[in-house]
Amino acid sequence: MERELALELVRVTEAAAVRSAQWMGRGKKNEADDAATTAMRTMFDSISMDGTVVIGEGELDEAPMLYIGEKLGNGNGPAVDIAVDPLEGTNIVAKGHNNAMTVIAVAKRGALLHAPDMYMEKIAVGKHAKGKINIDDPIEKTIDIVAEANNKRIQDLTVIVQERPRHEQLIDRIRAKGARVKLFGDGDVGASIVTCLPHTGIDLFVGTGGAPEGVISAAAVKCLDGDMQARLVPQDATEIQRCMDMGLENPTQLLTMDDLVKSEDAFFAATGVTEGELLQGVKFLGGDLVETDSIVMRAKTKTVRFIKANHHINNKPYLTSTELT
């Protein structure tokens, strides 16, 4: 795939972030999500690629925009799979909390796991612990491994976990081991990524969350030369059958990085909507000037770009005062 695609993807996440940020703190998560998806679709149409959504907002009859199987791009250029979360953190934006982002992962056709919308157990680490983790290890053993790999004392190790009742025992065990716990609310893509960036101080991500977000996270972690493992957690026979229909003969098999993202020819892009550990949020600077903060990465070259951009939004179809009431 052409390296120029990376910067084209940033234009998509930037547009979605600016549109959805206008709903920040207004208590309307559906409107924020709709604004992001509309902006993404419009920008995708200008990109030279033959894209197919493999992870989106559901099937055609469930989501009118960016649904699984939808074609994106102008049809010219590389054939790619697209995993997209137009707004990771709809509740975050509605409530004005931190760590909402717009995210995209793109890889050559057939490279991304076609993960159904269900629970997935996940673990992610940075490059120093790459190849050393196993999702089936007790959390205590994993903490020992990651602490040694990152040259840290256990009491200085930070594990990031989603604050959910299902994780209460896990959190208790991490604390009993002596490691530090950083809790987060919604949106676990960013939580996976920060394990691969030393300046964040986060060493390990563990927990159970959404499978689509797991594949998107894997693309980002692969670009950062980190490591990730996962396992789907189907809740009933219907979900088991759905896994099999999507090509997984063993729905509960251990999924390595190469199962989640089968090629080095992969990209990840994200733009912050609200403030977070990874990215700053959209800032409305007065008049028609808006500032965005984005990251874009390529697995093949391990290139990581942080992009801060100013946008002039006059004469563009952003929200009107009527829509905001």
**Residues tagged in the binding site annotation for substrate:** 88-90, 119, 164-166, 186-188, 210
Residue list for the binding site: 33, 57, 85, 88-90, 119, 164-166, 186-188, 210, 213
Question: Would you state the structure tokens that stand for residue 201, as one six-digit string?
Answer: 């101080």
Picking from 160, 208, 166, 155, the residue whose alpha carbon sits closest to that of residue 184 is: 160
The rounded distance, in Å, linking the Cα atoms of 315 and 259 is 45
Q: Can you give the C-alpha Rg of the chain in angstroms?
A: 19
Question: Which residues lie across from 290 on neighbouring strands?
Answer: 284, 311
Residues making up the annotated binding site for Mn(2+) are 33, 57, 85, 88, 213
Which tokens sit at 86?
A: 């137009």
Alpha carbon distance 145, 151 (integer Å): 10
The separation between the first and the last C-alpha atoms of the chain, rounded to the nearest angstrom, is 43
> Pick from 199, 219, 254: which is nearest to 55 by CA?
219
Please state, in angstroms and rounded to a whole number, the distance separating the CA atoms of residues 270 and 161: 21
